[in-house]
Structure 1
Amino acid sequence: MTLIQRAALAAIATTTLAVKAGEVEVLHWWTAGGEAKAAAALKATLQAKGHTWKDFAVAGGGGDNAMTVLKSRVVSGNAPAAAQIKGPSLQEWAAEGVLANIDDVAKAEKWDSLLPPAVANVMKYKGNYIAAPVNVHRVNWLWVSNDAFKKAGAKVPTNWDEFFVAAEALKKAGIIPVAHGGQNWQDFTVFESVALGVGGADFYKKALVQLDPATLNGATMSKVLDTFKKVKTYTDKNAPGRDWNLATAMVIKGEAGMQMMGDWAKGEFVAAGKTPGKDFSCVAAPGTAKAFTFNVDSFAMFKLKNEANIKAQKDLAAAIMSTDFQEVFNLNKGSIPVRLNMNLAKFDDCAKLSSKDFVETAKSGSLVPSIAHQMAVPSATTGAIQDAVSQFWNDDKMSTKDAQAKIAAAARTK
């Protein structure tokens, strides 16, 4: 152990004695691979401040299992210090009166100047911060196999007309044009990118954030649905039920040319030893280069009674937004820092492009929440619209008009 390390440990010990150390119990579902490493980094940050980290990890169900456990804990008056909750669900929990106001941390750490308003507003309830954001995933990505495109003599598409030209070229070369996993959330992920690409950011906001009936029933939505259904004709017959990472593997191997998926797909390419720009390309989904659908993970802070634990909770909130944690976590997760003005020297080209577009769209007003990833509307409404979208994707006999009516009806679900 070096002298510096000894001195650091002594300083931590002194701080711990001066300010009574607390315990933070943290509910999350980061239990695999890069996510588990990322959670370990946060734990280490808290332990360095002298606090105890109590892991409350609930695997499976994309967080559904965790939410079931959390509800029973909160009802019994035994809430954890922090829980992984995101999007409109934060406001739903805050409305129950169980979340803590962490404005003092946010002010001390200058969160309002470090977060785009579109993200900061999601972290607040009635103007007060109740959660700390961890990262930003961009959802509207198109992942491209450079080998497959070279073999097909195809050009990487920037709009939907070019997308279908490329798809035809791939098909003629005997390559599956679009890798897809036929699961509700994957269908919905493709749908929102089509909606953004065909209609633009203002249309997207009106239709899929404000749920405006006239927009949902209008001509642009008809065009979105027609384009969405056309994409399906370029997927393979084995798509139903396929997991997203297996679809990504098809692009990695060059069996398929393209996949529309969030930036968590990048982790699969990197794990397979592939290099951005050389082996694969990361480009915005057709027509969406000047827009950005965001999916932000965050931790809601619950009301606690023990003073030492409240101090630990505040230290946790500050640590989440620190530059060190934002770098380590996002390098492991494949996402980008939510904190603006970060040094991205260690990040790859896909992340740098994502960060540049995140900043630019925040300024232009085309940074929009992902409806497919529970960032835009309440969970019951999200589920109803997702089901309607998947019904249309899977039923070749359903007309665009019928699908539009089903989606508009689903948008009224409370």
Structure 2
Amino acid sequence: MTFRSYLVSSLMLSLVSVSAMASSVEVLHWWTAGGEAKAANVFRSYWQALGNEWQDSAISGGGGKSAMTVLKSRALSGTPPEAAHLKGSELQEWAALGFLRNLDHVARQGEWEKVLPEFVQHSVQSKGHYVAVPVGIHRVNWLWVNPQVFARYQLTPPETWPQLLTIARKLKQAGITPLAIGDDQWQLNILFEAIVLGEGGSDFYRRAFVQLDQTTLQSDTMLHLLELFHQLRDYISDDYGDIKWNQATHMLVEGSAAMQLMGDWVKGELTAANVIPGKDILCLPAPGTNGKFSYNLDSIAMFDVKDHQKQQAQLQLANMIMTADFQQAFNRVKGSIPVLQQQPLTSFDHCAQNSAQQLQQAIKEQQLVPSMAEGMANSSYVRLAIGDVLSGYFNNPDGDAKLAARQLARAVLSAQR
């Protein structure tokens, strides 16, 4: 179906009864970086093409911390937006507080249980009820590589973390920043979770970050992983404290850095810079994670509002998000893959197609794990507690792995109370 025919059919055959007047929704999100902003524009254009009004509440700040602060203020003052980008633990916390609208009837009409993977269904449910609309699936454990830099120094992309360290030493001697990363807590969390998944394995990862097992958090394996994590501080930019994730991607594109460990939202920045993902910049599984999949799921939650027209607009927005045409258009730009099963990805780039294949393999072989760094594995309190310990340890030149492991275990235990 073409975009034009989709719009016509959507107007005539809407899954919900809507007013003849234009619907208006305010959407709060943090898709403000170059590539993400383009994806937000796709979202807005689809809604507006249906004759509706879009009120954009875009809050800048990587990871959504600033957006959550604004959202809390709005909700407590009784003026929440109709829709907001919420996911993982934060979605669950808002649902538990009673702010979100039950979407079970929309899910039944759209047969979500048939068209969505089981892990996606669970991710947008709270106490067995749907409280958000899934938008796209991101794979977090990607290693992005500048092939020209590697070719110049006759290097082969690493498949293990020890190999990455060896390559990093050679690149540093040549005056190239081996690993592009900033000092945002969530960026360091992504790096560490990739190390845990690659070196520790999926079962160890689940014990540490999903089950929060105290013995695992203080084990010899965890000490080894923390030591490896700390070694990487020798191979980042001297000014990494001032680098945002999208700026790190630009370092990679320019060739001043050779690698970046980051989720596939990086592709939005690459395409915005006219760079072909999978060709000009390679997308490879983070070392040791081939066949493993750490997932992050974007979703849009509908806040409980009393106005009937706003309620109808929310339903229309939810149904639009779940159409195949929207899923294709949005996720191609965002860098993610559609949530709908059996979607053809022939128009997607090589990295997205590989991501979909790796997802199916990971589900089949039980190698699918929720991202700790992106708030999919546990509560926001636990995620922040882990991040505080990791950031303090990484930034301390004399960081002690044994002390960090003890601090990690204590911080996680305290955050659960």
Q: TM-score, normalised by structure 1?
A: 0.90
C-alpha separation between the residues in 1 aligned to 2:14 and 2:195? 56
Alignment correspondent of 1:314: 315
1:94 partner letter: A
Shift of 1:61: 6.0
The residue aligned with 1:212 is 213
Q: Structure 1 residues 311, 364: closer, same or farther in 2, change over 3 A?
A: farther
CA distance in 1, matches of 2:296, 2:10: 40
SS of aligned partner of 2:70: helix
Give the AA of the match of 1:156. Answer: P
Deviations 1:16-53 (A, max 9, x none): 99845444332223345443343343334344555543
Higher deviation after alignment, 251-260 or 206-215? 251-260
Q: 1:247 deviation in Å?
A: 2.3
Contact 1:170-1:176 within 8 A present in 2 as well: yes
1:115-194 equivalent positions in 2, closer than 5 A: 115-194=116-195
**Cα distance, 1:71–1:405 mapped onto 2, change above 3 Å:** same
Distance in 1 of aligned mates of 2:343 and 2:153 = 39
Which whole-Å CA distance do the structure 2 matches of 1:410 and 1:135 have between them?
31
Q: 1:365 to 1:318 in 2, by over 3 A?
A: farther
Q: What is the CA-CA distance between 1:65 and the residue it aligns to?
A: 3.3
Question: Aligned partners of 1:349 and 1:10: how far apart in 2?
Answer: 30
Return the alpha-carbon distance in structure 2 between the equivalents of residues 130 and 108 of structure 1.
Answer: 15
Q: Give the 3-state SS of the residue equivalent to 1:202 in structure 2.
A: helix
The CA deviation string for residues 116-145 of structure 1, in whole angstroms up to 9 with x for no partner, is 222221200111100011112211111111
Q: 1:381 to 1:356 in 2, by over 3 A?
A: same
User: In 1, Cα distance between the equivalents of 2:60 and 2:376?
Assistant: 21
The CA deviation at 1:13 is 12
Superimposed CA distance per residue, residues 248-293 of structure 1 (whole angstroms, 9 cap, x where no aligned partner): 2222222222111111222333333333444321101000111111
Q: For residues 165 and 310 of structure 2, what CA distance do their matches in structure 1 show? A: 56
Give the letter aligned to residue 44 of structure 2: K
Provide the rounded CA distance (Å) in 1 between the counterparts of 2:352 and 2:102.
32
Separation in 1 of the partners of 2:145 and 2:96?
A: 43
- Other-structure match for 1:329: 330
CA separation of 1:220 and 1:40: change in aligned 2, threshold 3 A:
same
Distance 1:95 1:268, change over 3 A: closer
Identify if the C-alpha distance between structure 1 residues 100 and 10 changes in structure 2 by more than 3 Å, giving closer, same or farther: closer
Amino acid of the residue matched to residue 343 of structure 1? Answer: P
Matched to 1:405, the amino acid is: R
Please tell me whether the aligned partners of residues 13 and 50 of structure 1 are also in contact (alpha carbons under 8 angstroms): no
Is 1:154–1:169's contact at 8 Å kept on the other side of the alignment?
no
Aligned partners of 1:118 and 1:368 also within 8 Å: no
Partner of 2:242: helix, strand, or coil? Answer: coil
Q: Which residue of 2 aligns with 1:82?
A: 83
355-364 or 326-335, larger mean C-alpha shift: 355-364
1:131 partner amino acid? A
Q: Which amino acid aligns with 1:115?
A: L
One-letter amino acid of the counterpart of residue 259, structure 2: M
Distance 1:148 1:69, change over 3 A: closer
| CA distance 1:18–1:302, shift in 2 (3 Å) | closer
* CA distance 1:354–1:70, change in 2 (3 Å): same
Distance of 1:212 and 1:352 partners within structure 2: 35
Helix, strand or coil at the partner of 1:282: strand
- Counterpart in 2 of 1:54? 55
Quote the residue 1:258 is aligned against: 259
* Secondary structure of residue in 1 paired with 2:144: strand
Q: Which residue number corresponds to residue 300 of structure 1?
A: 301
In structure 1, how many angstroms separate the alpha carbons of the residues matched to 2:367 and 2:165? 25
User: Does the residue aligned with 1:279 lie in a helix, a strand or coil?
Assistant: coil
Mapping of residues 225-374 of structure 1, within 5 Å: 225-374=226-375
Q: CA offsets per residue over residues 190-219 of structure 1, 9 Å max, x none?
A: 111101111111111110122111111112
Distance between the aligned counterparts of 1:171 and 1:75, measured in 2? 50
Task: Pick closer, same or farther for the CA change 1:392–1:113 going to 2, 3 Å.
Answer: same
Which one is further off, 290-299 or 55-64?
55-64
Number of positions where the alignment pairs a residue of Structure 1 with one of Structure 2: 410
Higher mean Cα deviation, 371-380 or 166-175? 166-175
Q: How far apart are the structure 2 equivalents of 1:292 and 1:254?
A: 27
SS in 2 for 1:211: coil
**Shift in Å, 1:14:** 12
Alpha carbons 1:153, 1:169 under 8 Å: kept: no
- The change in CA–CA distance for 1:184 and 1:40 in structure 2 (over 3 A counts) is closer
1:333-357 deviations in Å (ceiling 9; x for gaps) = 1222222211212211111111211
Q: How does 1:4-23 map to 2 (within 5 A)?
A: 8=8, 19-21=19-21, 22-23=23-24
**CA distance in 2: counterparts of 1:208 and 1:68, whole angstroms:** 25
In structure 1, the partner of 2:383 is 382
CA distance in structure 1 between the aligned counterparts of 2:409 and 2:16, rounded to whole angstroms: 56
Question: CA contact under 8 A between 2:15 and 2:319: conserved in structure 1?
Answer: no
List per-residue Cα deviations over 1:148-188 (Å, max 9, x = no partner): 11122111111123222322333344433222223322221
Any gaps of 5 or more consecutive residues in structure 2? none
Shift of 1:235: 2.2
TM-superposition CA deviations, 1:311-345 (whole Å, max 9, x none): 22122112112111111111221222222211212
Compute the displacement of 1:9 (Å): 10
Greater shift in the superposed pair: 53-62 or 122-131: 53-62
CA displacement at 1:406 relative to structure 2: 1.0
Residue 312 and residue 88 in structure 1: after superposition, are their counterparts in 2 closer, same or farther (change >3 A)?
Answer: same
Instruction: Indicate if the aligned counterparts of 1:15 and 1:50 stay in contact, CA closer than 8 A.
Output: no
Secondary structure of the corresponding residue to residue 299 of structure 1: strand
Equivalent in the alignment of 1:63 = 64
Helix, strand or coil at the partner of 2:201: helix
Quote the Cα distance in structure 2 between the aligned partners of 1:287 and 1:393: 21
Q: Is the 8 A contact 1:151 1:173 kept in 2?
A: no
